[in-house]
Amino acid sequence: MAEAPLIVVLVLALVAAGYFCLRYFLLKRSLRNADRELREITEDLGENRIVKLAAPDRDLEAFLGTVNQALAHIRGEAVRYARQEAELKSQVERISHDLRTPLTSILGYLALVDEGGLDGETRDSLATVRRKADSLQRLIAQFYDLSCVRGEDYRLDVGEVEVGRLVRESVAGQYRLLSEAGLEVDVGIPSHAVFALANEAAVERVLANLLTNAGRYAKTAFEVTVSENVDESGVSLVFANDTRTLDESEVVRLFEPFYTVDGSRTQESSGLGLTIARHLVERMGGTLTAQTEVRGGTQWLKFEVVLRAGGCSAN
């Protein structure tokens, strides 16, 4: 009979151990499920979901309550941000229209000016006014374009585009800019057609911005290469030029709106071209990156556009 209490204690201990083991595994499974739910929610914050705990636990429920409050706050901030973006885009559209109308009239009147009766100094001044007016017109157009490409509702029709041909045509079209800058140009494009999934007009815009950037800031050399990834998953367009020494902070900021390498507005640069180019590339499902490398003691700045490969590329 003396063994009976010991047996009872052992049974109670086993029952308690089983209860706590079961409790532990239930909580662990609940945490895994909560983690999965949280990952799904963060991927699409638009859905008004909360994280739930299947197995009751006061402390964990309090923790998840705080998490759900944070999610609600993030959703509210996202809604406010989207509303502000829409309002800003609308304001930019109105301002651009209000500026374009009088500027178009100014350019029209400048075109009507008879230069025959003007002296040399006056003609030079008139040419400066025309150049500045044209620069202002481009800036207004770029500002409007940036507001458009940053909008969530902006879409591009993407299909197979022969990017090798577009690069050749773009380099040829910018030949005067590159030659006036005194650059040694090296172009490496495969002889066969290279297709990428892209929008032709958007690619042309990106190429024009990158070539203009090189014409402004390259020192003596500029090179363009087009290549297909080994696994044929993408097409790479590389634009590289020698440049003055850039630190890492400058390279990181190249795609910021209104940022220019020399920190000024010289050469009539708005600092919007690279920003627009990156947004356009990303809208096509690609990437646009910048980095520096040293070649023979000279620093080079390299831009790389990677687009998804089309199905018609052939050797």
The single residue listed with the structure tokens 């040399």 is: 120
pLDDT of residue 230: 64
pLDDT of residue 210: 92
- Examine the domain organization and report whether 164 and 214 are in the same domain: yes
Residues 127-142: pLDDT tens digits? 888 888 887 877 777 7
The DSSP symbol for 310 reads P
Can you give the residue range of the structural domain that contains 108?
Answer: 80-149
Residues 39-56: pLDDT tens digits? 777 777 767 777 776 667
85 within some domain: yes
C-alpha 70: how far from chain center: 28
- Examine the domain organization and report whether 164 and 303 are in the same domain: yes
Q: State the burial class of residue 108 (Cβ atoms within 10 Å of its Cβ: 0-12, 13-18, 19+).
A: exposed
- Examine the domain organization and report whether 194 and 300 are in the same domain: yes
- Examine the domain organization and report whether 202 and 278 are in the same domain: yes
Residues 263-279: pLDDT tens digits? 444 445 566 888 889 98
- Examine the domain organization and report whether 237 and 103 are in the same domain: no
pLDDT of residue 270: 61
Comparing C-alpha atoms, which of 215, 163, 221 is closest to residue 189? 163
- Examine the domain organization and report whether 164 and 286 are in the same domain: yes
- Examine the domain organization and report whether 167 and 247 are in the same domain: yes
45 within some domain: no
Average pLDDT, the chain: 80
Q: Rounded CA gap, 84 and 248, in Å?
A: 32
173 within some domain: yes
**pTM to 2 decimal places:** 0.63
255 within some domain: yes
- Examine the domain organization and report whether 195 and 252 are in the same domain: yes
Q: Rounded CA gap, 134 and 140, in Å?
A: 10
Please state, for a pLDDT cut of 70, what percent of the chain lies above it.
Answer: 88
The DSSP symbol for 309 reads B
41 within some domain: no
* CATH for 241: 3.30.565.10
Q: Pairing between strand 287-295 and 298-308? A: antiparallel
88 within some domain: yes
Q: Rounded CA gap, 69 and 71, in Å?
A: 5
Comparing C-alpha atoms, which of 211, 209, 162, 210 is closest to residue 190? 162
Query: What stretch of H or E contains 303?
Result: strand 298-308
Comparing C-alpha atoms, which of 224, 221, 197, 220 is closest to residue 210? 224
| Of 149, 169, 198, the domain-final residue | 149
- Examine the domain organization and report whether 168 and 264 are in the same domain: yes
Comparing C-alpha atoms, which of 155, 152, 135, 151 is closest to residue 93? 151
Q: Rounded CA gap, 222 and 186, in Å?
A: 6
pLDDT of residue 266: 47
| Of 123, 149, 175, the domain-final residue | 149
Q: Rounded CA gap, 195 and 214, in Å?
A: 24
- Examine the domain organization and report whether 184 and 226 are in the same domain: yes
188 within some domain: yes
| Of 149, 167, 188, the domain-final residue | 149
Q: Pairing between strand 184-188 and 221-228? A: parallel
- Examine the domain organization and report whether 100 and 218 are in the same domain: no
Strand spans (E) along the chain: 159-162, 184-188, 195-198, 221-228, 234-242, 287-295, 298-308
95 within some domain: yes
With a cut of 70, list the residues of the chain below it in pLDDT.
1-3, 19, 46, 53-55, 85, 88-89, 92, 152, 230-232, 261-271, 311-315
- Total tally of structural domains belonging to the chain: 2
- Examine the domain organization and report whether 126 and 200 are in the same domain: no
